[in-house]
Structure formats: structure tokens, C-alpha cells
Structure 1
Amino acid sequence: MYMLDASIKAQLKAYLEKIQFPIELVTSLDTSDRAREMLALAEDIAALSDKVSVRQDGDAPRKPSFAVGRPGETARISFAGIPMGHEFTSLILALLQVGGHPPKAEASTVEGIRAIPGRFRFETFISLSCHNCPDVVQALNLMAVLNPGISHQMIDGALFQDEVSARQIMGVPTIFLNGEHFGQGRMLLEEIVGQIDTGALQREADKLSAREPFDVLIVGGGPAGAAAAIYAVRKGIRTGLVGERFGGQVLDTLAIENFISVSQTDGPTLAAGLEKHVREYDVDVMDLQRAEALLPGTYGGLAEVRLASGAKLRSKAVIIATGARWREINVPGEKEYRGHGVAYCPHCDGPLFKGKRVAVIGGGNSGVEAAIDLAGVVAHVTLLEFDPTLRADAILQKKLFSLNNVKVITSALTTEVTGDGKKVSGLVYTDRASGEVQRIALEGVFVQIGLLPNSDWLKGTIALSRHGEIEVDARGETSLPGVFAAGDVTTVPYKQIVIAMGEGSKAALSAFDYLIRSSVA
């Protein structure tokens, strides 16, 4: 029977004291053990606050599930599954927000959500081990709190496997709107609002374009960008940071054990710390924005960065810290079955392949760690490495070879991902030693072969290496005066978080020095 331990109860009780209005948890149960655990969780929560009550007369089609609402009103937030693990925060926020505690969102965003017309029934399939899913769940829950025309249900894919199979869901989070596929992967509040309220995108672009020119504009919100922003703003200069998602690639990293002075943490926790630190200063943070072009020295010596939204930002100096993304294998079937068996995040999507056969492509640390992680969930893992030997650390290899449901194939060139038109059914590779073509029947392929720099938008503008990295000198300077770069997008070797932070700090100091010398000239 599921019960909250004493320490969690104490913390939850303190949160529930912030509830302003009565709320009720309406359970829809079957006879399963999970249903009994869900009821026990609901009763635990109700026992911590006199403003929370439990009903057991729910008749929702998905069982077990429970709704969070106010008495006498139709609940607009519900959980099909027990929201623990990464989703426990989503549950706490739902309780607080339904109970009247004000949300932490921009006033303009809140008003925009309240004004959206229409009826929107969102469903989000998640896995409890997914560290990107809570962003989506919490955003949609907040929208449901603010707008009576919006409802949202979180669905634990591991608990509703039949529905996951029927809907061909092979990646999380996967969002459905009014029964139709809406989106997949991490999405933040403003991004979702922009998709259902198209006028919001233009309004935001106009607001950004109206910004006064910056002294330093940082493009990218990962470790390098965050460090650059802090070092720049502490010099007392007007600093802006624009990026697609704060934290960047770090958000897709779980175990971090080599960040000096912190013995162990995870990517989402570190990313949250980066953002909190940056926002403690007067940095103009512009999130969920993708850069599309750089026009150096176009307007009276100011550089202009053009965004995909249509916005235009101007600055005296620019620091590019756009990081990198997962490298693709670029074989037939990869793009066709992305999200339908082809995946890049074993922590997020692994639970959807419970009891199935999967392959991991890549024998470096990332690939071997993925295989080890998946081996505890799936029926069998086949790891394929292009080179004759694995490249992962010895301690990881030792662990890998101790697992009895993992097979390692070296000298393997993956040539195709096969499927039935809807989902992955297998993989084809060539044995580089013998030249023989081999086929493996499986249901999932996890690609773990390294990173590509996010520099496509700079081609023809700035000097890039043959690998697409921005060429920088020892000071972080690029081929363009007043334009600096840092982190995984550059030619600096060893793509590590701690190195990216150092490079970002150095680029900010170099940019400040450039501004001083420019003003003197």
C-alpha cells in the first residue's frame, strides 16, 4: 500500500497550508493494486489539510485515476497514474493552484491564457522517469487552472500500456489535443500557448524587437551562456540572453558526477540552478527563442540577431553559446520512425519499451550508460559500435558485460532502421570485418553517437571548422569583430559542462574588454 513517509508528509503539509479554497480529490478506481495505492496517496494528502477531501465515486474512463478540483465544479486537472518521481512536483503545484495559490508566471502570460477562446482537452502521456515531462504537465495544468475551456490529464504510459501501443506512442512526453496528436518532447508554457493562440507569437516578437540595443547579447542558455551572462552583467553592462530552452543539452543529462565541488547531481537540477542564478541579476532573459541569422555591424556598428519568431535584437557585442544536439545516424528509417521507435533519450523513453527488444547505437560513455539503464527495463538490449572496440570507460564496460540481457556487437555499420509504416520493427547493419549484412528484429532504437554543433544558422557568416564548430582563439574571439563564442558549439576540445562554463566566463570578459577598447577608440 502506497504511503508517504514522514519527511515528505511534513514538507507537503507546509505546502498545503498555502491553499486558500477547499479542493477535493475525486478518485476513479478499479480493483488493481495501483488503485489501492492511489487511494492511499489521496487519503494521505487529505489527512494533511482540512481544506482537502477525498471522494471515491469518480467514473472517469481511465482507471485508476483521480481528478483535482473544487467542490461543486467540474475538475479540469486529473492524473491517470500515481504522480510520483519527477511528477510529484506537478501534483503539489496542481493542489496549490487549484486551491487558489497564485502561479509563478508573467502577468501578461496569465492574462493571455485566460483570454484564449475555445475548448481544449489535452492529454499527456509521460513516464515517471522522464525529466522533461513535468515541464509539459505543469504548463498544461496551469492553463487548465486559468481557463475554464481547457482541461488536462497526465497519463502514466507504463500503467496504460495497451493505450500506448494502440496510439503508437514511443516517446514521451507525447501530447494529444482533442484526441489528435499535438506535440512531442519538452515544451514550455509560452510555447504551448503560442501554438493555440497564434497572435501571441507576433505580440511577443514585436515586444522583443522593441528592446533597446544591448551591450552584450548572449545567444544560448546552457552552461556557457549562463556563465557568460553572469560575468557580463556583473560588469554593470546591459546584458541580454536569448535561447531555445534554458539549460540546453544539460536538461537531457541525468547523472553528473564530475562537476567539481558537487559530488553528484543531475541535469535538470543543475539547469534549474543555472537559471535561478542568472535571474538573480538584471539579465534580460528571452526564453523559447531560436536564432536564425547573425548580421554583424549592420546598424551603426551594432550586430543584429534575427529570431525564428521574426524578432530582431541588436547589440554592441554578441556571445554565441548555442551548444550542440544529438548526432543522427542519417540512415533510411531514422527520420520516418523518430518518436515511433527511434529515440535519443533512454531515461525519458525507456519505460515505454518495457519487456521489448531494443538496440543502442554507440559504444562511448553515453551509449554504454544507455544500454545499462535500459537493461533494467527492457527484455533485451543489443549495443552496436562502429569501431572494433568499445570507447566507454573501463568501469562502465565492466558493468555492461555483467548484464545477461545485453549483447555487444562491434565493427557494426548501421545502414537502415526498418518498420511496418507505423513503428520500428528492426535494424540492418553491415559487419565491417566480414562484409555480411545482418538484420535484428526489435521494437526500439536508441541513438547515442555524440553531438553536432548548433551552428547551421551561421554558415556563410562566421568561420566554421570542417565539423561545423565555430573557430575561436584563446580569448573566445571569432572571425568577426565583436562576436565571441563559447561552449560545445566551438572548436574548444572536450565537451564538458565545467569547461563550457569556463569558456562562457572567458568570452564575457573578452567581450567587456572589447567594449572598453571600442569606446576608447
Structure 2
Amino acid sequence: MLDASLKAQLKGYLANITQPVELVASLDDGPKSRELGELLDQIAEVSDGKVTVTRGADARTPSFAIVRKGSDVSVRFAGIPLGHEFTSLVLALLQVGGHPPRVEPEVIEQIRGLEGDFQFETYFSLSCQNCPDVVQALNVMSVINPRIRHVSIDGALFQDEVEQRKVMAVPTVLLNGEPFAQGRMTVEQILAKLDTGAVARAAEKIKAKDAFDVLVIGGGPAGAAAAIYAARKGIRTGLAAERFGGQVLDTMAIENFISVPHTEGPKLAAGLEQHVKDYDVDVMNLQKAAKLIPARTEGGLIEVQLENGASLKSKTVILATGARWRQMNVPGEDEYRNKGVAYCPHCDGPLFKGKRVAVIGGGNSGVEAAIDLAGIVAHVTLIEFDSQLRADAVLQRKLASLPNVAIVTSALTTEVHGDGEKVTGLTYKDRNSDAVHRVDLEGIFVQIGLVPNTEWLKGSVALSPRGEIETDFRGATSIPGVFAGGDATTTPYKQIVIAMGEGSKAALSAFDYLIRLPAADAEQAAA
């Protein structure tokens, strides 16, 4: 199950356990139970006696609880937490075993202060890079507050349960048996949903902040680079982001980041966040910008209003709001989002094992998605608007070699069909003949590019017809003192390495703007 290298690493991690841990396994005679039993025995074997394995009973088999002996602290996994969830398993062992979680003290107090009993269930897939954040967040909360219980469930292993509960996207979280949330969430985001006063308290803290020299809006590669470059100049720097990491968090494999042959989006995002925190940057996460108000006079303070009602002011602002998945904007898409309409094949693909799906889009992302899904599902129909696929030739050759893939070009998807609970098919129009065709299927994966997150900027800063922020070669926008970088701008080629460079350039331009302000303007801006 675990090779020698992984066992050695695990042994080093488990040395940090300070309180005895018991793994209570619910197993039967099936092959998956045998696999899980082997994994648990290997964990105990390398723990130097700190972890023991016993047998128990649970409604879900195979499953196991990680229990702190002599206490009511525990977490449970239903399935075999390998793949992306192996880190979740290791962290759960450590935290149940007394090793302190990496959570801010005020967040720990907020978790402890929650009133009531909370039974969380999270459905994940082993190939989902978004799921570990949710699993780990809820595990941490259950260790800190024993009135919070959490079980993580491998949706691919418990497909009958997934069907019964109509889970068609991961991560899906239920609270006390009712739908709670879907998609990536941090501890802070979960707390904001449970603690209704958290948003108001955060707004009050933000209102009390002094003006910044540079305020970065966005926490993706461009925003992180901008914040680092600004902070290195020794000027007062703030960063407000709806979610730190941005679109990178939804990226599976990254193989073109120069000097790093291979990494994954969440790992890169974690590195970006840690690098920013190494500097004196005031990071305000989970904050969505709502309006940009230019300075009333040259050199005056620029204001950014947030959705929670608070405002931030700064002498300069760097816009790095990035982009999000583009939608088809056809009838049925919104109604059946996460009910068969999906945007992450790596995350949600395992839930469609043995079913029929479509992939919308014939670029690299679409063709890669079709190739990956073909190894899981019964059949893939790839639908491309253009007269030919736009993906790299090597990907097209691989796709053409797969027996369970059909390719449809010159096709416009016009409607998503469903039965009120889940997707049942789609309709597309042949752009050459105008003939309309229906495809019966259970899942639709949309891979048609990105759209910039700039709706909130309309009427304040110049945007292109595509909604991108117009910038010059220095990253300056149409508003003095406001700069921009990354996927939200008119800069071509939406790549991580380019976004980082553009964010760095915007920060250097903002600093240059500040030092060139006349003394009177600088004093006025500081007032």
C-alpha cells in the first residue's frame, strides 16, 4: 500500500503525535476493506506505538475513525483517503494526536465559541484538488470543538449513497443531513456561514484601518506578486481578496512554470500565500470588492468599497481580480449547475463513472478533460463551436485514439435538459445545416475559457469590449494611481508566469507613481 519512502516520511510526521491515537476500523470481507485494513496496519506499524488499530462497527464500510484515546475528539473517513486526501489523513492523525493545527488564535476561539451540535458530511473524490481544503477545515473544527462531528466520504466508493442523495459535484457538504455548501471552502468561510455575526465584525475591523500606500485587489498570482513587490519597497501595503489563490486553486497540473517542472494549483497557491505573509502585508481574505471610487483630486485617496459595507482607502490601487470559468449562458445551465453541469473534470469526473457525459470546448482544456473522462465514464461527446478542434496536435491524436469518444465540430450548444433534479441531456445546433440534435447524457463539463472578474468596475475604469481592464505598457489604467495586472487585463496570453510578471510590473509602476507625486499631493493623500 505505502512504499518505503512514503513510510519513512509518515514515520517522521507521526513522531509529532503527543497523545495516543486509536484507529477504529469498520471492515468487511471486500477488497476495499482489505486495502483499508492494510493501510491502517502500516500507519500503526510506523508510529512507534502511538497509533493502534481496533475493530468497530459503522453504517459505512469500509470506514474508520481516528480517535484520541480517553476523549471525545475524533474524525472519520469513509473510504481509503489516498490521492489528494492522503495529506488530509496525515493532518487528521497529527491533530487528533495533539499536534496543534496551523490556525490563527482568534479563529480557534471563534470555533470554540460556536453554540450547538453540528454533524458534517463531506463527499469528495480522490482526484479532486479542491476537496482537501474542505475536508481538512472541517476536521480541524471537529478537533477544536468536539460538538462538531465530521465524516469524509469517497463518493466514488459509495455511489449508491451519492445517487440517493443526488450528489453530482464535489466537494459537497451536508450539515445535519441537509445541504450546506459545495466547492472549495476554508475554515474562515465555513465559520462565516455558521457564525452570522462574523461578517459584520470583519467589516468593523476593516473600517478602522488607515489608508494604504498600495492596495492590491485580488489574491491570485498577479495580486500576490504585486503585494510582494510593493512590500519590498517598504511602503504600507494591503491585499483584499475574495479567495487567496484565485483561479490557480482550480488548476490541476502546472508544467510550464519556469524552473518548476511540475506542481499543482493548490500547492502553488499555498506557496504564494506564505510568501506574501513573509512580508509586512495586511492580508484581508474573503473580501469581495463592489465599487471603485477614483480620487477626487490628483494624488488624493482612492476608495474601494467592499460587499460587506466597509471601505478601504489607498494612495494607489492595483487591480488583479483575475478570471473565472466562462459559462455557456444557455437555458438550463444555471438550473442544473452542480446537478450534472460541472466545470472541473478532475474534481467531479469520478461521480460520473460508467455514465455518458459531454465536454463543451475543443481547446487544450476541453480535449484534456475529454481524455481524462474517457478513462472513467462510459462515453464522452466533445462539442466544439469551431469547424475544427483548437487543442495541440498531440492531444488531438490521443483523443482520436479513444474508442468511447465522439467529436462534434461546428456545433452550438443551445440548451441543457433535466428532469428537475439532474441533467438528462443537451441540445446543439449544427452550424452548417442548422439541424438541431439532442444528446442524452448525465453530465456536461464546460471548458470554454475564462471571463474577467471586472463587472464591479464598469463605469469607473476603461474596459475592453470583452470586459478586460485596459492597461498601457506600464500597467496603468485610465484612472491616475490605479494599475492592473493579470488575467483581468488586456494583456494577451493568460498564463500564471505572465500574470506574476504583470503584477510585479504594476507594483513597480505604483511605487514610481508615489515617489513622483508633488510633496503637496503626497501630504494630501496621507490626510
Higher mean alpha-carbon deviation, 450-459 vs 36-45, is at: 36-45
Higher mean alpha-carbon deviation, 197-206 vs 260-269, is at: 260-269
SS at match of 1:135: helix
What is the deviation of 1:397?
Answer: 0.8
What is the deviation of 1:250?
Answer: 1.2
Q: Contact 2:73–2:143 (CA<8 Å) still a contact in 1?
A: no
Q: Distance in 2 between matches of 1:205 and 1:248?
A: 22
- Report what 1:32 is aligned to: 30
What is the deviation of 1:298?
Answer: 5.5
- Report what 1:314 is aligned to: 313
Alignment of 1:362-381 (within 5 A): 362-381=361-380
Q: Distance in 2 between matches of 1:73 and 1:229?
A: 44
- Report what 1:111 is aligned to: 109
- Report what 1:251 is aligned to: 249
What is the deviation of 1:75?
Answer: 4.8
Alignment of 1:44-59 (within 5 A): 44-49=42-47, 50-56=49-55, 58-59=56-57
Matched, 1:87 2:97: no
What is the deviation of 1:264?
Answer: 2.2
- Report what 2:283 is aligned to: 285
One-letter amino acid of the counterpart of residue 435, structure 1: D
Matched, 1:445 2:444: yes
SS at match of 2:487: helix
What is the deviation of 1:308?
Answer: 1.8
CA offset digits 1:247-275 (Å, max 9, x no partner): 21111111222222222222222222212
What is the deviation of 1:73?
Answer: 3.3
How many residue pairs match? The answer is 518
- Report what 2:461 is aligned to: 462
- Report what 1:12 is aligned to: 10
Higher mean alpha-carbon deviation, 131-140 vs 40-49, is at: 40-49
- Report what 1:189 is aligned to: 187
Q: Contact 1:67–1:75 (CA<8 Å) still a contact in 2?
A: no
Q: Distance in 2 between matches of 1:266 and 1:206?
A: 36
SS at match of 2:472: coil
Alignment of 1:213-292 (within 5 A): 213-292=211-290
SS at match of 1:360: strand
SS at match of 2:233: coil
Q: Distance in 1 between matches of 2:322 and 2:358?
A: 27
Q: Distance in 1 between matches of 2:109 and 2:482?
A: 38
Q: Contact 1:298–1:304 (CA<8 Å) still a contact in 2?
A: no
Q: Distance in 2 between matches of 1:241 and 1:265?
A: 25
- Report what 2:394 is aligned to: 395
- Report what 2:76 is aligned to: 78
Alignment of 1:143-158 (within 5 A): 143-158=141-156
| Structure 2, gaps ≥5 residues long | 522-527
One-letter amino acid of the counterpart of residue 247, structure 1: G
Please identify runs of 4+ aligned residues in structure 1 that moved more than 3 A. 72-76
What is the deviation of 1:452?
Answer: 0.4
| Structure 1, gaps ≥5 residues long | none
Q: Distance in 1 between matches of 2:53 and 2:433?
A: 65
One-letter amino acid of the counterpart of residue 171, structure 1: A
What is the deviation of 1:30?
Answer: 1.9
SS at match of 1:426: strand
CA offset digits 1:45-83 (Å, max 9, x no partner): 112221211111x22111110001122334531000111
- Report what 2:334 is aligned to: 335
One-letter amino acid of the counterpart of residue 57, structure 2: D
- Report what 1:514 is aligned to: 513
Higher mean alpha-carbon deviation, 190-199 vs 261-270, is at: 261-270
CA offset digits 1:134-166 (Å, max 9, x no partner): 000000000000112100000000000001111
- Report what 1:305 is aligned to: 304
Q: Distance in 1 between matches of 2:129 and 2:508?
A: 33
SS at match of 1:293: strand
What is the deviation of 1:243?
Answer: 0.7
CA offset digits 1:102-143 (Å, max 9, x no partner): 111110000010010100000000001000100000000000
What is the deviation of 1:399?
Answer: 1.0
What is the deviation of 1:227?
Answer: 1.0
Q: Distance in 2 between matches of 1:4 and 1:480?
A: 57
Q: Contact 1:76–1:150 (CA<8 Å) still a contact in 2?
A: no
What is the deviation of 1:330?
Answer: 0.5
State the percentage of identical aligned residues. Answer: 69
Q: Contact 2:342–2:446 (CA<8 Å) still a contact in 1?
A: yes
Q: Distance in 1 between matches of 2:518 and 2:218?
A: 26
Higher mean alpha-carbon deviation, 113-122 vs 457-466, is at: 457-466
Q: Contact 1:126–1:157 (CA<8 Å) still a contact in 2?
A: yes
What is the deviation of 1:213?
Answer: 1.2
